[in-house]
Amino acid sequence: QVQLQQSGPGLVKPSQTLSLTCAISGDSVSSSSAAWNWIRQSPSRGLEWLGRTYYRSKWYNDYAVSVKSRMTINPDTSKNQFSLQLDSATPEDTAVYYCARGCTYCSTTYHFDYWGQGTLVTVSS
């Protein structure tokens, strides 16, 4: 059974970096069939896919254009986890952030079959 455990601060000051980590059990961040995603949810923006990292003989990253200039997703194979860094945070980045696995048995890894518990991140001074 795949489990994703999120960690990271719930409060970030404006202009600082929002950082979250997602620890994986029951699968590998280096899996050649999975993709590891960050998704956020807020009342104003709804559900929003932010980006992903995945391994297919080498590492790849995809980011939503809305955050591409500010976002970095890094895999950590030694700890079997992946992380999110969102630079220059603004109050508009306030949301519940989820990590999620891209489905390995679906026709696309843009279906998300396992989710972390969610982290409410508030950007405020």
Cβ partners under 8 Å of residue 112, min gap 6: 37, 39, 100, 101, 102, 103
Q: 46, 58, 69, 78: which one contacts other proteins (CB under 8 A)?
A: 46
Torsional sign, CA 114, 73, 28, 77: negative
Torsion of CA 67, 36, 22, 45, to 10 degrees: 40
> Taking Cα atoms as reference points, which of 66, 91, 86, 114 lies closest to residue 21?
86
Which residue in 61, 64, 74, 104 binds other proteins (CB under 8 A)?
64
Give me the least distance between CB of 35 and other proteins, in Å please: 11
Residue closer to other proteins (CB basis): 70 or 103: 103
Cα 76 from Cα 22, distance rounded (Å): 10
Which CB atom, from 55 or from 112, has the smaller least distance to other proteins?
112
Residue 96: CB minimum distance to other proteins, A: 9
Residue 49 as a binder of other proteins (CB under 8 A): the answer is yes
17 versus 61: smaller Cβ distance to other proteins: 61
Q: Of 66 and 88, which has the nearer Cβ to other proteins?
A: 66
